Amino acid sequence: MIGRLRERIGFERPLLGADGAGGGSLAWAALDAQPMVWARVEAVTGTEPVAADQRQAEVIYRITLRRRWDLTAACRVTWRGQVLDILAILPDERRAYMTLLARAGGGQ
């Protein structure tokens, strides 16, 4: 498996803050001090749903990486200049690796 982890990906976590007017603001920050990790990234499905009379390409990726305990579905992945929303986090049976399902495109 290690030889298949050929892509460098990063993680960001949401930061919620007050905007001073009773509302909130959302910003993103690197998840931790290790900004990039090795992973395997594979496109699983792709669709082009129509929204507001425009096609919006959407791709679902399967991302395999070494197990981390600090990731949640609220985080997002950065890869090759794209931002991917995490849809699900799936551990493997031995807990050595994990698989993320992440969406690029329409959900951003």
The pLDDT tens digits for 97-106 are: 999 999 996 4
For residue range 39-89, what is the model confidence (pLDDT) as tens digits?
999 999 877 666 666 666 789 999 999 998 899 999 999 999 999 999 999
Please give the model's pTM, rounded to 2 decimal places. 0.81
Of residues 89 and 94, more confidently modeled? 89
- Look at the domain 2-104 and name its fold: Thrombin, subunit H (2.40.10)
What pLDDT, on a 0 to 100 scale, did the predictor assign at position 40? 97
Instruction: Indicate the domain borders of the chain.
Output: 2-104
Q: What's the DSSP call for residue 49?
A: -
With beta carbons less than 8 A apart as the criterion, state whether 60 and 103 touch. yes
